[in-house]
Chains A and B, each alone.
Chain A
Amino acid sequence: MVSGVILPVMTYPPLGFGLGLRVPHFEHVLQHKPPVDWFEVLSENYMVAGGKPRYYLNRIREHYPVAMHGVSLSIGSTDPLDFDYLRKLKTLANEVQPAWISDHLCWTSCHNINSHDLLPLPYNEATLKHVAERIRQVQDFLGRRILMENVSSYLTYRASEMTEWEFLTAIAEQADCLILLDINNIYVSACNHGFQPEYYLQHINASRVQQFHLAGHTRQGDFLIDTHDQPVPDPVWALYTQALAQFGPVTTMIERDDNIPAFDELLGELNQARSLVHKPFAKTEQHPESHHADTP
């Protein structure tokens, strides 16, 4: 890198407004080809040899762009990177040809025990170095830049030395990865930890934000829980509006994983997101699969 020269961050071309592809909607999507710009699929659900999930994914992929979103990368774990998992991920990506691949800035397993949860990391220099190095290894293996998503959290470690937004920003820079900004997760964590969600947004490097997630949550006593079982609530729409004002139009997707309604109800929510975007999506000329090229 030439000192003092700020090179542009290469992002993927925007996809517009998407939904998560879920089993109850497989047949509806195939039959009706609803007006959705793209679908996000949970990578692990399709890492199987065949059957209905793969059949529907392949058929739906013929009509829509798809992005792959994972939950098992465990990028922050101190266990070795799981190259068996990464090989399966790469095989799936070769078949699906997703617009991009994302996972979470968290850890899920330790001592080879998988919590199947998105557990928060302590935000400090040691973690930063550890995680950034692993993201670089994953990107090298997959041959493409990946997106890292901020997770909801319910606790703060005494070992943390920086805020989550400082950590996320630093990770993206040091690992040279992109950001999937989950607007609902910011709101949930802000309520659980007592910070201003707007302040979080203001400290994120817009040039690395590739995608937004929107979702609903549930109140449990004094805490908000990231349940993805409710429509997007008003405070999250309000924060999304602020994010759009700050970042401009960003590829947006609504997550719904439980209490899944009829497809048209989700389409209505997606149209609400559309109605909040008043500018066209920026065209991206470069493609980050050659992400090494921006490091002379």
Chain B
Amino acid sequence: MQTLRELQSRFINYLTEGSAEMGSMIYADSQAEQQLRLDIYKNAYRIRLRQVLETDHEILWAYLGDALFGQMVNGYIASHPSHHTSLRNFCDQLPDYLADTSPFDQHPILAEIATFERLLMDVFDAGEAELTDLSTLRALKPENWPTMRLRFHPSVQLLQADWNSIESWKALKTETDPPAASDAASQHWLLWRDTDRLSQFRPVEADEHALLSLAVSGKEFSALCETLLNWHPVNEASMVALRYITEWLDQGLITKIVSDTENHAPQLV
């Protein structure tokens, strides 16, 4: 008799590759009935995975249109069977698939849109952390300012878009036509979850992006001010840094303000 392992191997092969070896393993009055019974499982497998792609990448679907999206669905399901216990992660490799697979690799904006949609999901269910506010900053002693470091909410994400992917995403979200794909203006974006647990995103200019990148990586305030010298005169750098940090506090991005002189090890959330 077949072992359970053999049966399960054949069944999985049938679902993922349509292997014909499965038919002899089940009871049916006719070959047609056998096929009907097996097709219920095979169709359910494909429909379930397709629905995940449709739900998680709704705007990418709108951008591609039904035909190309269908081609992508078929290709992705065939090449990326799920290795996850939750369908939440089934599409994790979709940006890479789009970047590496013809004809989608001819249009880099597609992988960017997919990356953006996945980041929105990461923002949605990132961990919780209590936020701090401006009073913490005000309470900081002057001698502790140079070594001050910030800790950010786990939902904070940075994205560099080389194409107008997010502008296109926004257009389609409001059911208007997206602009023609263009890589004329690279743009940095900040994503986070606000205090109402809604996902937010906004563009950030080059100086704020440099500042955020350093701050998120745990660099101290003196290093943040130093990087701003690339954009601002030396007598303004610290004020510009302070203005940005104040905005971040207002937007609910920061969970803690620590200083080395207070014996707090620098650490991201």
Contacts and interface: CB of A to CB of B under 8 A. Distances in A.
A69 B126 CA distance: 22
Given A49-B127, A51-B126, A158-B25, A110 B197 contact: no
Given A49-B128, A159-B2, A119 B86 contact: no
Interface in B43-93: 44-45, 48-49, 81-88, 90
Contacts of B88: 44, 48
Contacts, number: 121
A143 B4 CA distance: 28
Nearest to B193: A51
Contacts of B87: 116
Contacts of A117: 15, 41, 44-45, 48
Contacts of B2: 159
Contacts of B97: none
A238 interface: no
Contact of A77 (B8, B36, B90, B197): B8
B7 A157 contact: yes
Interface in A113-140: 113-117, 119, 121-122, 124, 126-127, 130
A288 B125 CA distance: 33
B27 A113 contact: no
B11 interface: yes
Nearest to B196: A52
B149 to A, nearest CB: 22
Contacts of B193: 51
A127 B128 contact: no
Interface residues of A, number: 45
B199 to A, nearest CB: 9
A154 B11 CA distance: 13
A115 B83 contact: no
Contacts of B44: 117
Contacts of A158: 24-27
B48 A116 contact: yes
Interface string A26-65: 0000000000000000001101111111110000000000
6 contacts: A49-B127, A115-B11, A117-B41, A154-B37, A155-B40, A158-B24
Interface of B: 1-5, 7-9, 11-12, 15-16, 24-28, 36-38, 40-41, 44-45, 48-49, 81-88, 90, 124-128, 154-155, 193, 197
